[in-house]
Amino acid sequence: MSPPVHPHVPRVAVACGCALGEEVLWDARDGGLIWVDIENPAIWRHWPAHGETVRVAVEEKLGFAALTPDPDVVLAGFVSGVARLNLRDGTRTPVVRPEPQRAGNRLNSGVIGADGALWFSDMDDAEEDPTGRFHRFDGDRLHSFGDLTAVTNGPVMSPDGRLVYTVDTAGGVISRHERVDGRIGAPVPLIDFPDDWGHPDGLTLDEQGHLWICHYGGSRVTRFTPAGEIERVLPVPTDLVTKCGFGGPDLSTLYITTALRGRDPAEHPAAGHLFVVETEVRGFAGQIFGRPELRQRPSPAK
């Protein structure tokens, strides 16, 4: 039996044509979106309420931009490490760099967890050697965990903070780690992607603890239960689907980044754009580094 298909079709929210769009998040403080283009390096910002879009170019590949208490300063994951980046004047202050001996690595995915820490990953920039790992940085201490892999995505934390999910994109496996008393357990495989699904890429979780996982090369997002079973499939009108995140006033709107990478825009006119689709579930806005007490949650149901 085929899995249920999401009832709404994603539409283009911003025709940004990113070479490799990633890490979209919602800033509930000003009702804006932030995402990055890794390979045409830039941070994008968009405010749906009034349609304004801003592109902030940077001089180095970056994998993510996470929120800090200052709305115009982000924690950005560059090749050279995590840095505070001022989006107003472009000033950059280094913060931490994992495994500096791995010269061919770059930072890839990153998000602020419910604990206020930065959870992020690095990977082989050539996407060949298993040199990437997963990391947690709380402002003082850097902790690395998980198995080495060539292409990483995640980590993301369950709503209750008890589970952490990581993605071995190259190997096609999503794993679950138990978190007990702050300790992160070994990876336990949860979902295996068959070859005809494409590769598992970015993911997010909703209020119910379900995982929304993007299919890079698979033209869709799949919602999985916490047990790893398919709950629904959400087709996307372009094949390189990279990351999704919830936004909107009640956090029930799903935004999806995609990639133009290696595609002819004339043949793939939707590739690289930011998409949007309505859902009946709610997720979480981007969280603020170091401020778990300010966790941005969905507003109460009306």
Give one DSSP letter per residue of 126-162, joined into a string: TS-SS-EEEEEE-SS-EEEEEEEESSEEEEEE-TTSS
pTM: 0.95
pLDDT(252) > 50: yes
* Closest among 155, 153, 275, 246 to 202, alpha carbons compared: 153
Q: What is the average pLDDT score of the chain? A: 94
The single-letter code of the amino acid at 147 is D
pLDDT above 70 (res 294): no
| Structure tokens, 288 | 């603020």
DSSP 3-35: PPB-SS--EEEE----SSEEEEEEETTTTEEEE
Residue 112 phi, psi dihedral angles, 5° rounding: -85, 130
pLDDT of residue 264: 92
Find the mean pLDDT for residues 50-67.
Answer: 96
What CATH number is given for 11-293 in this structure?
Answer: 2.120.10.30
Dihedral sign, Cα of residue 271, residue 274, residue 277, residue 280? positive
Question: pLDDT by residue (tens digit) across 69-102?
Answer: 999 999 999 999 999 999 999 999 999 999 887 8
Interacting residues of 117 by C-beta distance below 8 A, sequence separation 6+: 136, 137, 138, 139, 289
Residue 230 contacts by C-beta under 8 Å, 6 or more apart in sequence?
A: 3, 222, 223, 224
How far is residue 246 from each of residues 132, 223, 284, measured CA to CA in Å?
27, 13, 6
Structure confidence at residue 150 as a pLDDT band (50, 70, 90): very high
Cβ–Cβ < 8 Å for 124, 105: yes
CB 144 within 8 A of CB 101: no
Residue position matching structure tokens 């794993």 = 175
> Percentage of the chain with pLDDT > 90?
91
- 117-146 pLDDT, tens digit each: 999 999 999 999 999 999 999 999 999 999
pLDDT at 299 over 90: no
Domain range summary for the chain, segments of one domain joined by +: 11-293
DSSP 239-260: SBEEEEEEESTTS-EEEEEE--
pLDDT attached to residue 300 = 45
Can you tell me the mean pLDDT for 54-69?
A: 97
What does the pLDDT average to over 220-231?
A: 97
- Of 107, 97, 127, 91, which Cα lies nearest the Cα of 36? 107
For residue 119, give the 3-state DSSP assignment: strand
Structure-token pair, residue 245: 């995140």
How confident is the model at residue 25, as a pLDDT? Answer: 98
Q: In this predicted structure, what is the pLDDT of residue 145?
A: 96
Instruction: Give the mean model confidence (pLDDT) for residues 51-60.
Output: 96
Under the banding of pLDDT at 50, 70 and 90, the label for residue 182 is: confident
Q: How far apart are CA 301 and CA 213, in angstroms?
A: 25
